[in-house]
Chain A
Amino acid sequence: QVTLKESGPVLVKPTETLTLTCTVSGFSLSNDRMGVTWIRQPPGKALEWLAHIFSNDEKSYSRSLKSRLTISKDTSKSQVVLTMTDMDPVDTATYYCVRGTLWFGETPTHYYYSYYMDVWGQGTTVTVSS
């Protein structure tokens, strides 16, 4: 059974750095095509894609938040860590880690990606307040 579980602080102060850990089980972070994505959802608002780490350790970030985000993994510990610097009250949200399957294909005329998020963690709520 594949599971992902987020952990981290419930409350952070403005300007602080948030560090969230996602511990996975049931699959390896080195499995081809399988990576981990972080998604967040402010209260009452839509989901927002944040970052993805590939099985080969490549990283991808939301363009709007790239300067504040770092994603990394420790395959031996089955953990993925997301850090977000300079936290602000608008960053108050539920943060989800998700198993993201991503693979790349080619045709004679173009290449294409298949990307989907098939197993979600329960989410962890982070409040930014002084």
Chain B
Amino acid sequence: GAGVSQSPSNKVTEKGKDVELRCDPISGHTALYWYRQSLGQGLEFLIYFQGNSAPDKSGLPSDRFSAERTGGSVSTLTIQRTQQEDSAVYLCASSLTGWGGRADTQYFGPGTRLTVL
């Protein structure tokens, strides 16, 4: 079946503008994660959604960042008043469940490369 998809693949924006990044998880996957990866760095956890539970927002770096997940499927990450330090690749991943074991295996999308000028 189809994997995780993300759009846009690339986004160039001016400092101070708002951006929206979209993630379509694998059908049937209840858990969804957002990460940020700066050039040559590891993954930085941003936010986690599990079913209808309240999201875990503990990784969001500031209140300029927010995310929602509609209908337990598609998710949108919004960055308001973008700053140059927000430039990174934003990766979305989904997993079958968030309850432990092999079913926690995350499958990643291709990412959105955000450049803030």
Query: Is the pairing of A and B real?
Result: no
Instruction: Give the interface of A toward B (CB within 8 A).
Output: none
